[in-house]
Amino acid sequence: MNRAFALGLISLAVSALMACDDSGNKDEAAKPPPPPTAGGELGSAIFTYKCLLISDASCDNDALGVGAGGGDLHFPKIATGSRFGATFTAFDGKMPNPPPLLTTLHPAFATVDQDGNITAVKAGESSLGLLLGPQTYDVLDIDVVDPILKVDSAQPQGEFTDIKVSGGKVTAKGTFTFRFRVTPSAADGKTILAGSFPCMWTTSDKDIANITTDPTDNIVTIVSGPKQGTATIHVTLGPMATDIPITLGS
């Protein structure tokens, strides 16, 4: 993955960016979205997606985005190299005792560790399996996709907007607050992929652009100033990384 990720020029109006959302919907918006859920191919079980790290875009707990399918009745596409979990219940509410064992039917594409967490090994179609001894209780097909790095920007109360434009940077003439979201994406740049990667945001100069929220989350809040000049926001998401130059002042 090329670290020289292209970013677009976005002019941020100070008055708009400093606005707060006092609509009374904060508490509702802050609730985490319900996880993606899917019925198995054999009709015996219901599988529920589980995030392992807060950087998983499929489980964004943020007013600005619910990720890669919160509440969807299907599993999201999974980023190659990422990790995720899956829980399951019986479709008829009568889970066998002992319960079936979670495994993967194509270990070249995905594996399950002793804690039941799944690693997407390489791109392709794979299947999660529930085994009762030698018999298959149910199966869930999943898609594993090679990711690219996608960066979006938003006002605190606005929608995320893709800023992938060649040769750009972020500029503003005054103090402002806004957010960045980094996600693994399919090659189309539109389909957000699920899966946990270690994530870390850093700034080269916190007096120009300071990260005020958890730097291991895929969504961070940036507050600029009081110092003018250029700072570089650097983000890594697993093996992927990019720099975001932010210039404050003329």
DSSP three-state, residue 29: helix
pLDDT in tens, 8-53: 222 322 222 223 333 344 444 455 567 788 999 999 999 999 989 9
DSSP three-state, residue 58: helix
CA–CA distance, 225 with 176 (Å, rounded to integer):
8
Question: Is the pLDDT assigned to residue 250 strictly greater than 80?
Answer: no
Query: What pLDDT was estimated at residue 175?
Result: 73
Dihedral sign of CA atoms 214, 215, 220, 223 in order: positive
Do the Cβ atoms of 215 and 163 come closer than 8 Å?
A: no
For 31-145, CATH number?
A: 2.60.40.1080
For 10-18+146-248, CATH number?
A: 2.60.40.1080
pLDDT in tens, 94-105: 999 999 999 999
Query: How many degrees, rounded to 5, is the angle at CA 63 between CA 193 and CA 4?
Result: 45
Question: Is the pLDDT assigned to residue 239 strictly greater than 50?
Answer: yes
Domain with CATH 2.60.40.1080 in the chain: 10-18+146-248, 31-145
Question: Is the pLDDT assigned to residue 231 strictly greater than 70?
Answer: yes
| CA-closest candidate to residue 118, choices 151, 75, 69, 89 | 75
Written as one letter, the residue type at 39 is G
Confidence of residue 160 (pLDDT cuts 50, 70, 90): low
Phi, psi of 26 (to 5 degrees): -60, -50
pLDDT in tens, 67-76: 444 445 578 8
Higher per-residue confidence, 154 vs 80 = 80
